[in-house]
Amino acid sequence: MKATLLINSRLLFLIFLLAGLNALGQKGIPDDFCLSNDEYRLYEMINAHRVLNGLKEIPLSASLSYVARTHVIDLYTNHPDTSICNLNSWSDKGSWTPCCHNKYVPQEECIRNKPKELTGYTGEGYELTYAEVFNTRADTVFKFWSTIDEANEFLLNEGRWEKKNWRAIGIGIYKSYAVVWMGQKTDALPAPERCSGVSASKTKNVRNETSAAIGSIPVISSKTGRFYLIVASLQSDADAQKEATKYSKLEGTNIMILKNMQGQYRVSINDYPTLEEAKQGKTKFEESFKGAWILNY
């Protein structure tokens, strides 16, 4: 697996990737710009990781997500990471300033200014990326980042990132590349929606049911305040039921399905009244569910 890290600052250059969209290099973000299911899941996992470590969630940014999407498509399509240029580089195939970033002749300002070049975002951007040979998924990316000290420090404002105050986050996943952009300025634009989700305006009048059984596994659609150990995210009740049923006979579990307002279904193998108990439960199921994560819902 090819997995390369880079966090750009004035002192450290690690290596990253980004995702882009078809309307490359435009100042205005398309009206229909949205996040894929995997991109949105990675965003949620990063914020859940921060909350578990006592930090605030970072607001989702349309501008930084657009920059992320643009860069990953550039990397996948044009491969600017040739010769001595690393994966933080940008090609000369779009309406932006090309960047050949490397440890010998770093172009960190060229990288940090990409949000200003591509969008109306006025702050600088910092990026963390991931790459592998085959198409990647949010769970794989997050698991890698959370186990690498440099990447984890970037996500949790630790180490050399301790004095940074992340006020905006952008996510991009395309083919075998994934990236997260962070910024210290808030984004004036509203947060992008999930492409297959239901918009907030369409969900205001949706009845919030406490619990409903779509199939044989209970479905929770109202917040309970408990901590759930999540092992899968799916887009339909049928798929969620099918996935949840696979674990229904496992000893020590209490299988449930959580449904959020965007119509996404999460399979929980157990729930707990406190965060500490949830962490203990996660440790207990570590070997069987390596990608499990905790959600307070």
**CATH 3.40.33.10: which residues of the chain?**
37-183
Q: What parts of the chain have a pLDDT lower than 50? A: 1-26, 197-215
Query: Quick check: helix, strand or coil at residue 98?
Result: coil
Please report the pLDDT score of residue 251 as a whole number: 75
| CA–CA gap between residue 258 and residue 108 (Å, rounded) | 42
| CA–CA gap between residue 81 and residue 6 (Å, rounded) | 13
Cα 110 from chain centroid (whole Å): 24
CATH topology of domain 37-183: Pathogenesis-related Protein p14a (3.40.33)
Q: What angle is formed at CA 157 by the lines to CA 278 and CA 64, rounded to 5 degrees? A: 100
Please report the pLDDT score of residue 151 as a whole number: 94
Give the predicted TM-score (pTM) of the model: 0.60
CATH classification of 200-296 is 3.30.70.1070, yes or no? yes
Q: DSSP letter for 190, please.
A: P
Decide the pairing of beta strands 177-183 and 218-220. unpaired
Please report the pLDDT score of residue 34 as a whole number: 94
Please report the pLDDT score of residue 196 as a whole number: 65
**CATH 3.30.70.1070: which residues of the chain?**
200-296
| CA–CA gap between residue 21 and residue 31 (Å, rounded) | 13
174-to-39, 78, 136, 226, 264 alpha-carbon distances in Å: 9, 13, 8, 34, 21
Which pair of structure tokens corresponds to residue 290? 């390596």
